[in-house]
Every structure is written in structure tokens, then in C-alpha cells.
Homo-oligomer: A and B are copies of this chain.
């Protein structure tokens, strides 16, 4: 786990400036939001899945500025060779460099979240809240990105087991967060042993082509390798069948071994296909397995899968299976999906554009809203201390996330809502279209996170519940329907007022 210096240099430069200006203990509020859904180029997300909060809070709890961190800062110099950080500031930092004074409000992990709506709010002394920015963004942006991708992959698989296999091509130690986020977002398991252990779930996997190659290089055959695997793992026998030739060698050899296993009182788990036309090979393998009396064994497909490839493969199976006398639904229901790089790196869009913006500063016990002007309205953070409300319509579906000031109750009917990023676009929601309203930001101090395994279980439940309340159009993999994120009337007017005041 990285330490207190897991941050950008400029945070410390600013912290020292605040210290010198006597502003370092000033209470401020920062909001974390993301600006847009992941856009994978040929397809786009219509929702995101919040993730990363548990590990962030753990990191915040355990991390303090240590003497060796101070030593690093002591060795920073400007171009003239003078020290950049003074001893007065470093002494303060050593004593106060921890996140205890920070209060947070956050959307719990696993929940569906949308752009422009606050995901995390941070309140605390200016210098510390500023230093926290980078690591908070690093943790939450990436985990949310991967949980979102995993959710899409799981939706494409339509209930089939998703296995995250990305460690070898993941972005270095980012794999640790990627695997955990994938487990929250829709992967049932990961091959990543360390990440699985950290999350409190078993890891999964069987064997590689190299195992078959070893037996062949020593003068044996694929069948020898399969037999050895079945001997060692009689009750966990899942064979990779494409080392030589899937239909000519791999599947027939697997069936031979499966028959031997069955005679010895064991049931095989299945086969894995890792190359070639996976849809075609799944159909043909299923036909061969059925003919041999192994209708129940699974077929794991892997190799460059992502949500669109899975969707296409399933469609192809529906078309192709009848030609080989196979019931497509039976092929589909036996599929599992090993998804690697595309999942672990969110291929197509490897970074979520989450930002952390100063929205208010306390003075004399009062909050003063802060704003940064930009020519792009969507880049102007919403000022003030806020809450986000999710509105359910009469069908029990989520119809809008409304960003409001924290003391608003949104009880007016009809409820006036403003477009989050386009000025002068508004609409009214009448009483009959509002069945329920729920605040999304929860005080972190009221959260009981529990063990890693409990965190994962609860996050998975929240995702499932939120997806069920999401319109199917929003869940489409390609060109999803746009979910409404709105501003309350009071927030909208505050924002307009500040924009006018500070615009030149």
C-alpha cells in the first residue's frame, strides 16, 4: 500500500502556501464527480458503477506522514538549489499529515452513478483536503471505471459466469484494484490470487497451453496431459482444448478423459476454448459433448473478449446452433466468459474523467460557495454544499438524479429541474411521476463497511438492486438512452449568480 506521498507534487506546494498564509486549517468542501460516461469509441456506457471507496477509506485510515516522507520533501529544491519546503511546514506536516480530520459523504460501492452528480464530498482542513485529492481520484476513478466495464460485460453475458483474467496485461499493480472492482461490477471470480485473497473470495483457473506442450515436448500427447490433469483434479476437471486443434484433437481427447472420469465416479466441469471462431467452436463442441452424454458440462470461452464480442458471439450462436442440430439456448446457458485485458484496463477508454473541485469554503461558521469559471458549462463545478437525490417514477424506475443544495428537501410539486450542463433547459416533474426520492450521498462515518468479503457482497447487492431500477434503454451496450441528471432550482440559480459575478 502506498504512503502519504502518493499524491501530486503541487498538492504539497499548495499545502505549504496555505500554511504560510494561515489558511491551512480553514474548513473547505471539495466534490468528486465524473464528467462523462466511459466512451469506448464504438460504444458508450449509459451508467457507471461506483467502486473504490472501501480501499480508499482503509488507505486514509492507515496512512500518516512519516519521518521518511519528510526526508523526501526535505530533499526537494528549486532551480537555485534552495530547499522548497521549510522546516516549519514540515514539522506541521509530520504532526498533522493524516486524514483523521476529514469528513466524507459518498455513494456506497456498487451503486449506479451518473456524470455531474456528486459521487463523493470531502470536508476538512484545506491543506489536508487538498493533499487527499490525488489519491482519492486515483482510487475512485479507476475502480469506478472497471466496475462499470465489468457490469457491461456481465450484462452482455446475460447471467453467464464472468471470470476476470486480466492480470498479465493489466496496468501493473493497478491489477489489484482492477480485479476487486471487476468483482463488484459483475465478475463472479478472478484468476488473480492475491486480489481474490484480499477480497475474501476464491480465485479460479485451470491450465494453460504450456501444460499440454510440456507433455508433448517430453514425447507424450495432449491426451496424456489431459489424463494427468484429471488424475490430479478429478472433481475440478476443466480442460483447455485448443492447443493442437479444437475439434480434431482437443474436444475428442477431453471426451475420452471425461468418460474415464465418469466411470471412476467423477463428473467433469467442462472445456475452455481460447482461440479461433469461439461461437462456431462453442456450437460444435456442444454438439460433440452432447453426443457423448455430457450435456451438463460447461464451456468457458476466452481470448480478447469484451462486452460487444460476447454479445456478437451469443448472437452468432443463436444463428449457427440449429445448423448443427443444437438448441441455441442450451449452448448459451452453458457458457462462461474469461475476460482479460479489455476488462482489466477498460480498453477503449482507460481513464474515467473524474475531478475534485473546491465547491465551498467556511468563513465565520458560514459556507461561502466557490466556483471556477470555464467557457465550457459542463466543466463548471456546481457550487456549494450539496446532496444528490435519486427520483423514482411511478413504475419504480429511476428517472433522474437531482443535484441539490444540502438543506433542500425537494418537496415542491411540480418539481422544477434544470439541465445539468445546458443553461435555460428545464422541465417540471409532477407528483404522479415521483413515487420515491432517495439521497445518494451517505455520511462515511455512518457506514459499516465490514470485512472485505462483506464489502463485496453488499456492493454486489446494491448493483443488482440499482440495475433492476434502471430503464432497459439506459442499460443498452451501444448508444444507450441518456439518463437525466438535473439541478434543483435553487442550485441552478446559485450557480448562475456566481457565474455572472465572476465572469469577466
Contacts and interface: CB of A to CB of B under 8 A. Distances in A.
Interface of A: 2-3, 5-14, 16-18, 20-21, 23, 26, 28, 30, 41, 72, 75-80, 82, 84, 126, 130, 133-134, 137-139, 141-143, 165, 167-178, 191-194, 196-197, 202-214, 216-218, 228-229, 231-233, 235-236, 243-245, 248-249, 269, 275-276, 341, 344-347, 350-354, 356-358, 360-361, 363, 368-375, 379, 502, 504
A196 B77 CA distance: 13
A244 B373 contact: yes
A141 B341 CA distance: 11
B235 A14 contact: no
B203 A9 contact: yes
Given A217-B369, A235-B78, A6 B130 contact: no
B8 A191 contact: yes
5 contacts: A7-B193, A8-B193, A18-B214, A171-B171, A172-B177
B8 A165 contact: yes
A356 B178 CA distance: 22
Contact of A170 (B142, B269, B504): B142
A14 B193 CA distance: 14
Contacts of A356: 168
A9 B504 contact: no
Nearest to A193: B5
A247 B374 CA distance: 13
A484 B71 CA distance: 48
A267 B232 CA distance: 73
Given A213-B371, A248-B504, 4 more contacts: A17-B233, A20-B228, A141-B168, A171-B345
Contact of A276 (B197, B228, B347, B375): B375
Number of copies: 2
A208 to B, nearest CB: 6
Contacts of A142: 169-172
Nearest to A163: B9
B502 A373 contact: no
A504 B232 contact: no
Q: Which of A8, A142, A361, A370 has the most CB of B within 10 A?
A: A8
With most chain B CB atoms within 10 A of its CB, the pick from A171, A192, A209, A353 is A171
Given A167-B7, A232-B20, A347 B351 contact: yes
A45 B30 CA distance: 39
Contacts of A28: 214
Nearest to A173: B173
A13 B206 contact: yes
Given A3-B194, A28-B214, A244 B504 contact: yes
Given A170-B171, A171-B350, A173-B176, A207 B8 contact: no
Interface centre among A41, A141, A358 (most CB of B within 10 A): A358
A162 to B, nearest CB: 15
Contacts of A2: 173, 176, 194
A408 to B, nearest CB: 21
B10 A207 contact: yes
Contacts of A168: 8, 133-134, 137-138, 141, 354, 356
A50 to B, nearest CB: 15
A407 to B, nearest CB: 19
Contacts of A12: 193
A471 to B, nearest CB: 29
Contacts of A345: 171, 345, 350-351
Nearest to A89: B232
Contact of A130 (B210, B276, B379): B210
Contact of A80 (B76, B235, B346): B235
A108 B133 CA distance: 36
4 nearest A-B pairs in the assembled complex, by CB-CB distance: A174-B174, A10-B205, A171-B174, A9-B205
Nearest to A249: B504
A214 B362 CA distance: 10
Contact of A194 (B5, B203, B216, B370): B5
A17 B245 CA distance: 23
A42 B178 CA distance: 27
Contacts of A14: 207-208, 210-211
A213 B358 contact: yes
A353 B368 CA distance: 51
Contact of A13 (B13, B82, B205): B205
Contacts of A26: 214
